[in-house]
Chain A
Amino acid sequence: MFSKPVDLVGAAAFLAFMAALPLVFQSNYLIGVLTVSVIYGIWAVTWDFMSGLTGRENFGHSLFIGVGAYTAGFMNTSFGMPGWWSLPAAMVMAVLFALLIGLPTLRLKGPYFALAMLSGAVIMQRLMLIFWEHTGGEEGINGLTPLIRNQLGFYYFALATLAAITVLLLALARSHWGLILRAIRGDEATCQAAGINVTFYKIASLMISAAFAGAGGAMYAHYQLQVSPQLFAVVTSITIITMVYVGGMASIYGPVGGAILLVLLTELLRNFGEWRLMVYSCVLIAILFFVPGGLVAPTWRRIKAARGWGP
C-alpha cells in the first residue's frame, strides 16, 4: 500500500487531521481521549500484524500490554527509574513473554490458539492479584511519573509513535514477510514443505507484535499514571479485536481508524448517561452486522476504487 502516492496522501491527511483536532477544540479532555485512542490504535495495529495476517487470532493480547505496563510501573516506582527507561524495558519483557507463551503454543490454531493465549493473560491477571503485597493487588501500582508533562506534547508523542509503528508494520506486511505470513494462514503444511521456516515466522511475528504492544502498555502506564490488573483482562483483548474488526482485518492501517472510532464513541456517548453502553453495544451490532468487512479499510478502498486512484 505504501508504494502508492495516493495512500501516502491519505495517510498524511489523516495524520494532519489527528494533529489538528486538539488545536481546534482546545480541550484537555479531548486530548486525553485522543491519547488513549491512539494508544489503543497501537495495540490494535500490533494485533492485526500478527493475528490478522496469519489468521491465528490471539485472544490474549492483553498479556503483552499488561506486561509492558507493569514493567513500567515497577521500574518507575520500585526502582525509581525515569519514565523513558520503561519503554525499552517493557518491550524486552513483552518479547520474553511472547517467547514464553508462543513457543509451546506454536502448533495451535483457531480457537485452540485463542484459548491458549487467553489463558496466559488470565494467569498473569490472577498472579497480579494473588501477590498483592508486591503488585498492589486490584488497586495496582499508583504514582507513576508522567513521561511528558504537557498533555498536548504527550499526545503528539503518542501519535508519532503510532505512525511510526504503523509504517513499520505496513512495510513488513507488504514485504516478503507479509507474504509468508499470509501464506501460513492459507496452508501451513505447504509452506513448510516448500522449505520455509514456518516456526521462525510465527514466533517472530508474535514477538514483534508483543514488543510494540508492550511499548504501548508502558506509554499507557505513564499517561494514566497507574497500572491495574484490569489491563490483563479478557475484556481488554476483546475490545482490541473488536477495534481491528471494525477497522478491517489484515489491513494494518484499518485498525487505527477502528480504535480511534470506538474509543471516541465510548466517550462521546457519555451524554446518554446510563444508556451509554447500551447505545454503544447497539451501534456495534449494527456495524458488525451491516459492514462485516469493517468500516475503515474497506471504505478507503472503495473510495480509491470509485475515484480510480488505483488499488
Chain B
Amino acid sequence: MKTNFFFSKLLSVLLTLFGISIFVFVVLRVIPGDTITGTLGTDTGVLSPEQIDVLKQYYGIDKSLFGQYTSWMGSFLKGDLGFSFTTGLSVAKLTQSSLAVTAELAILGTVLGVIMGIAVGMFSARKPGSVRDFAGQLFGLLALAIPGFVLSTTIVAVMANKFHYFPNGLEYMTPWRNPWMNFQQMMFPALVLGIAVAAPVMRTTRSALLETVDKDFVRTAHGKGVPARRVQFKHVLRNSLIPIVTMTGIQFGYLLGGAVIVEKIFALPGMGRQVLDAINHREYATVQSSVMIFAILFVTINLVTDLIYRQIDPRIK
C-alpha cells in the first residue's frame, strides 16, 4: 500500500514538472523578442541578415520549436542545464551560487519570521484583550500590510544615507569566505522577508495558545503544579506546528521566487535576479532551466511538508 502511494505521488510530481517545462517554454516564446534582440538591444538593427543567421545558430534558436524543446529537455535530463551567454557560465554553475544566496536568504527569513512570530504571538496571548495583546496584533497586521519594497527602501534610506552604513555596497561574501560580512549583508533583507513570514505565524500562535487556556489538560497540569506556560508551550508546538509547517513550506517556496525585489534593492546575487535578468535578455535556456530547478525545489518542499503533516496529524489518512 505504501509503495503504491509513493509511486502515485512520484508520478504526479513528474507530471507536474513536465507540465511546467512545457508551460515555461511556451510562455517564453510567446513574449516578443528573442535572444538576439535581448542581448544586443536596438543595435540589432545594424546587423546584416547573414550576421543574424550566424547569431541564430550560435544561440540555438534557428531550430524548430519542437527541436529547441527536445534539445533543451534532453540536455537538462542529462544534467546539462544550458549555457548563459551574458555571464559566460554554464547555467548549472550560475544557479549553484545564486541558489545558495537565495536559499540562505529564504532560510534566514523563515527562521527569523518563525521566531518573531512565535515570540510576539506568545507575548500577545499571555493577556488577551490587554494593551499588549492589541500591540502584538497591530504588529501582526502591519507586518502583513506594509509591502516589502516600502520597508526595504526605507531601511536603505535611513541606514545608508543617514548613518552611512551599507554593507550591501561591498563585495558580496558567502558565509564560507567571510561569515561576519555575510551576516551583515543578509541581516536587513532577511529581516524584511522575516517580517512578512512573522505575520501569519504570530496569528496562528496566538489563536493556538488562546485555545489551550480553557482546555482540561491545562487545568489538570496546573493543578498538579506544572506552570501553565510550559504546558501551553508544548501544546502550541504540537498544534500550531501543523499549520506553521504547511505555511513555512508555502512561504519558503514563495520566498525563493518572491525575493526578487529585496535582492534587487540589497544587491544580493540571488536566483530572483538571475531569472529576471535572463528574462530581460531572453536567454531561454537560463530561464527555462532556472524555473525547472525552482519548480523541482518547490514541489519537493511541498512533498516533504505534506509527509511531515501526515506524520504529525494522525487524523489525515
Tell whether A and B belong to one assembly: no
- B residues near A, CB below 8 A? none
- A residues near B, CB below 8 A? none
